[in-house]
Structure 1
Amino acid sequence: MSFALKSREEEEEKDDDEKIYKRYIEIVATTLPTIEGWSGKPSYQYQGFWHNSGASGVGPLAFQDHFKARPSDIFLASIPKCGSTWLKSLAFAVMNRKSHPPSAQPQHPLCILNSHDLVPGLEGMLYNNNLNGSRIPNLDILPSPRLFSTHMPYTSLPQSVTLSGSRIVYICRNTNDNLVSWWHFINKVRSNNSLEPVKLEEAIELFCKGMSSLGPFWEHVLAYWKASLERPQNVLFLKYDEMIAEPALHLKRIAEFMGCPFSSMEEKEEVVDQIIKLCSFENLSNLAVNKTDKNGTGIPNSAFFRQGKVGDSANYLTTEMMEQLDRITMQKLHGSGLIL
Structure 2
Amino acid sequence: MATSNIVPEHEVPLSIVEKGWKSLHLTQYQGFWRPLKFLSGVMACRECFEACKDDIILNTTPKSGTTWLTALTFTILSHTRHDLDNHPLLTTNPRELVPYTSARYADGKVPDLTNLPSPCLLSSHLPYELLPTSIIESNCRIIYLCRNPKDTFVSLWYFLNNFLPEDEPPVPIEEAFELFHGGISIFGPFWEHLLGYWKASLERPERVLFMKYEELKKDPTFHLRRLAEFLGFPFSLEEERQGLVEKIERFCSFESLTSLEVNQSGKTRRGNPNKNFFRRGIVGDWKNHLTAETSEKLDQLSQQKLEAFGLTFKDVGK
Tell me the TM-score range normalised by the shorter chain: over 0.9
What is the letter of the counterpart of residue 236 of structure 2?
Answer: S
Contact 1:75/1:168 (CA < 8 Å) preserved in 2?
yes
Q: Which residue of 1 aligns with 2:284?
A: 311
Pick one of 68, 74, 77 that aligns with 1:86: 68
Pick one of 104, 116, 124 that aligns with 1:126: 104
Q: Which residue of 1 aligns with 2:200?
A: 227
Q: Which residue of 2 aligns with 1:236?
A: 209
Secondary structure at the counterpart of residue 169 of structure 1: strand
Q: Which residue of 2 aligns with 1:67?
A: 49
Pick one of 262, 265, 277 that aligns with 1:289: 262
Q: Which residue of 2 aligns with 1:25?
A: 9
Cα drift, residue 141 of structure 1: 3.4
Secondary structure at the counterpart of residue 267 of structure 2: coil
Q: Which residue of 1 aligns with 2:146?
A: 172
Contact 2:191/2:306 (CA < 8 Å) preserved in 1?
yes
Q: Between the two proteins, what is the percent identity of the paired residues? A: 44
Of stretches 64-73 and 290-299 in structure 1, the one that deviates more from structure 2 is 290-299
Q: Which residue of 2 aligns with 1:197?
A: 170
Q: Which residue of 2 aligns with 1:272?
A: 245
What is the letter of the counterpart of residue 78 of structure 2?
Answer: N
Q: Which residue of 1 aligns with 2:18?
A: 35
Of stretches 44-53 and 84-93 in structure 1, the one that deviates more from structure 2 is 44-53
Q: Which residue of 1 aligns with 2:316?
A: none
Pick one of 136, 148, 156 that aligns with 1:162: 136
Of stretches 56-65 and 316-325 in structure 1, the one that deviates more from structure 2 is 56-65
Instruction: Normalising by structure 2, report the TM-score.
Output: 0.94
Secondary structure at the counterpart of residue 320 of structure 1: helix
What is the letter of the counterpart of residue 106 of structure 2?
Answer: N
Cα drift, residue 298 of structure 1: 2.5
What is the letter of the counterpart of residue 49 of structure 1?
Answer: F
Cα drift, residue 144 of structure 1: 1.9
Gaps of 5+ in 1: 1-15
Q: Which residue of 2 aligns with 1:252?
A: 225
Cα drift, residue 290 of structure 1: 0.6
Gaps of 5+ in 2: 314-318
Alignment deviations for residues 284-331 of structure 1 (CA, whole Å, 9 cap, x no partner): 011111111111232211011110000010011010110111111111
Query: d(CA) in 2 for partners of 1:312 and 1:153?
Result: 26
Secondary structure at the counterpart of residue 227 of structure 2: helix
Q: Which residue of 2 aligns with 1:6?
A: none
Query: d(CA) in 2 for partners of 1:198 and 1:299?
Result: 20
Structure 2 CA distance for partners of 1:191 and 1:247, relative to 1, 3 Å: farther
Query: d(CA) in 2 for partners of 1:329 and 1:38?
Result: 22
Superposition misfits of 4+ residues, deviation over 6 angstroms:
none
Query: d(CA) in 1 for partners of 2:258 and 2:115?
Result: 32
Give the number of equivalent residue pairs: 312
Of stretches 252-261 and 182-191 in structure 1, the one that deviates more from structure 2 is 182-191
Secondary structure at the counterpart of residue 198 of structure 2: helix
Q: Which residue of 2 aligns with 1:331?
A: 304
Instruction: Normalising by structure 1, report the TM-score.
Output: 0.88
Contact 1:39/1:189 (CA < 8 Å) preserved in 2?
no
Secondary structure at the counterpart of residue 163 of structure 2: helix
Query: d(CA) in 2 for partners of 1:300 and 1:339?
Result: 34
1:301 has 2:274 as partner: yes
Pick one of 89, 111, 130 that aligns with 1:137: 111
Alignment deviations for residues 187-246 of structure 1 (CA, whole Å, 9 cap, x no partner): 112256x54212100111100111100000000001100000000000000000000000
Cα drift, residue 37 of structure 1: 5.7
What is the letter of the counterpart of residue 129 of structure 2?
Answer: T
Cα drift, residue 57 of structure 1: 4.7
